[in-house]
Amino acid sequence: MTQSTPSDPDTPASRVALAPRADGSASADSTTPSHEDTARATDRLAVEKARGNQRASALRRWTRLLWLLAGPGILVFLGENDAPSMLSYAQTGAQFGIGFFFPFIVLTFLMALVVQEMTLRLGAVTHRGHAELIFDRFGPFWGLFSMIDLLVGNFLTLVTEFIGIIAGLGFFHVRPLVSVGVALAVLLGAAMTRRYWTWERIVLALALGNGVFIPVALMIHPDWHAVGKAMLTWGPLPGGLTSQTILLIMADIGATVTPWMLFFQQGATTDKGLQPRDVPFARWDTLLGAVLALIFGLAAVLATTPLFIHGISTKNLQNVQFAQAIEPFAGHFGASLFALGLVEAGLVAAISISASSAYAFGEVTRQAHSLNRPLREAWPFYLVLFGSAIAAGGLTLVPGAPLEFIVLIVNVIATLAMPPALLFLLLLANDRAVMGDQVNGFWLNAAGIGVTCILIVCGLLFGISQVFPRVFG
């Protein structure tokens, strides 16, 4: 991603304090603009035409601008509604119902909104990815550390996405090899469009498929009175604070607040070419993504609550077995939609997470890193994007691979990895040399610190529950 000259007058001049880019991209005085520069300039021209269209009503201009500028926020939240996340929500509904966890999941999305708002501002103001900013402001050691930490976490998560895809298509008796092949073909096809805009719209169309969990939830005829009561009263934690409930709390937080989201949204915001004055629309984009993902996640919880109500044990249920378990309540069509939801969730997340890894690698190694670049100009970027997905998909086909363990632990790892990531985020968002007048205000800092403290407390409780299991029973 190049750092092109911003067209907005409110871009902070202090950005020059950052180190110069060395990613092989065209410089400001280059006589021949790159494919990346041309593609992004085309997108920006459409934005400026929409912004200056005085013939259109204010509402029409606003709607047109939102359509042009939306994408990263919706994708990051619907991408995080991935296969392990939807399975965590399904396990939540089946094991504990809605009394405590419905409002708790709402809280996790509010936490994620706080985090992602800072991320989108960083991308729009600096035109740089998250890993690159850490590298520039805190040195090569922390830049490399953040990249390696992300790549490892992303790879484990990618494995779970392919597990979800295999499980979902397995409901329809599709062989695992075919399932992995189809998923990789879609991922490769989207990435090879050589246009961020095209890639984004393809993935957005796929991501809206996450809504299939809504009809599944409606098919089980939920008790809406109980839903309203849960949201208004926040019922007690069933069984109290035990090792199992702590694990599920960690998994549900990890289903909403994860490190890869920082790297992806900031990288996508930069690749899309958003400017500081686009921040209000980027906030709407992020809020819309959070609301959609929240509704779809709560629908997954509702879909499995009949198992809790009827006292059906879910301890031995794995992946698509949740679809089979709810079939008596939602019918075969509902169970099929649930299975398709796992496929969609895994596919969108695999596309988004592999891009997140590629962005971070390109930013730290100073290689060209943009979906607006052709393969020959940014082959290391695409190598990481394709290679991580192919390796993760291949691992799921290896007999005896510890796949069940990875599914169980991946969201917990994401939650434990968030506090250090949030520390870097808060430092960057409060750095006036980076953000200019877009630095965090008091309430944003209070909210960010509050989120960090919640994650630290949850991490400590999880650690105590694992080292001293008798403490929580």
DSSP E strands, 370-450 = none
Alpha carbon distance 458, 77 (integer Å): 22
Percent of the chain at pLDDT above 70?
Answer: 91
DSSP E strands, 181-285 = none
Secondary structure of 83-151 in the HEC alphabet? Answer: HHHHHHHHHHHHHHCCCCHHHHHHHHHHHHHHHHHHHHHHHHHHCCCHHHHHHHHHCHHHHHHHHHHHH
Beta carbons of 452 and 294 less than 8 angstroms apart:
no
Alpha carbon distance 283, 280 (integer Å): 5
Total number of domains in the chain: 1
333 — pLDDT class (breaks 50, 70, 90): very high
Alpha carbon distance 407, 293 (integer Å): 20
376 — pLDDT class (breaks 50, 70, 90): confident
What CATH number is associated with residue 174?
1.20.1740.10
Instruction: Examine residue 458 and state whether it is found in any structural domain, yes or no.
Output: yes
Beta carbons of 47 and 65 less than 8 angstroms apart:
yes
Quick one: pLDDT at residue 461?
A: 86
Quick one: pLDDT at residue 473?
A: 61
Instruction: Examine residue 250 and state whether it is found in any structural domain, yes or no.
Output: yes
Q: Look at 274 and 13; give whichever has higher pLDDT.
A: 274
Quick one: pLDDT at residue 449?
A: 94
Percent of the chain at pLDDT above 90?
Answer: 49
Instruction: Examine residue 36 and state whether it is found in any structural domain, yes or no.
Output: no
247 — pLDDT class (breaks 50, 70, 90): confident
Alpha carbon distance 353, 191 (integer Å): 12
315 — pLDDT class (breaks 50, 70, 90): low
Instruction: Examine residue 40 and state whether it is found in any structural domain, yes or no.
Output: no
Alpha carbon distance 249, 130 (integer Å): 27
CA neighbor of 372 nearest in space, from 134, 26, 15: 26
Quick one: pLDDT at residue 408?
A: 66
What is the mean predicted confidence (pLDDT) over 225-239? 87
Instruction: Examine residue 75 and state whether it is found in any structural domain, yes or no.
Output: yes
Supply 109's token pair. Answer: 């999305």
DSSP E strands, 274-335 = none
Beta carbons of 359 and 267 less than 8 angstroms apart:
yes
H/E stretch holding 234: none
Instruction: Examine residue 25 and state whether it is found in any structural domain, yes or no.
Output: no
Alpha carbon distance 449, 58 (integer Å): 37
Instruction: Examine residue 35 and state whether it is found in any structural domain, yes or no.
Output: no
Neighbours of 277 (CB within 10 A): 16
CA neighbor of 164 nearest in space, from 322, 314, 325: 322
pLDDT digits over 145-184, tens only? 888 888 988 998 999 899 889 989 989 999 999 999 999 9
DSSP letter, residue 6: P
Q: What is the pTM of this model?
A: 0.88
- Which domain, by its residues, includes 298? 70-471
CA neighbor of 389 nearest in space, from 125, 190, 219, 123: 190
What is the mean predicted confidence (pLDDT) over 407-427? 84
Supply 435's token pair. Answer: 């953000």
Whether 24 shows a pLDDT value over 50: the answer reads no
| Rg of the chain (C-alpha set) | 22
Instruction: Examine residue 7 and state whether it is found in any structural domain, yes or no.
Output: no
Q: In the block, which residue shows the tokens 């902070």?
A: 12
Sign of the alpha-carbon torsion through 28, 33, 39, 43: positive
| CA angle in degrees (0–180, nearest 5) for 171-173-174 | 105
Supply 92's token pair. Answer: 């939540």
Whether 25 shows a pLDDT value over 50: the answer reads no
What is the mean predicted confidence (pLDDT) over 405-416? 76
Whether 131 shows a pLDDT value over 80: the answer reads yes
Alpha carbon distance 219, 227 (integer Å): 15
pLDDT digits over 40-59, tens only? 888 888 889 988 888 888 89
Alpha carbon distance 450, 77 (integer Å): 21
Alpha carbon distance 68, 54 (integer Å): 17
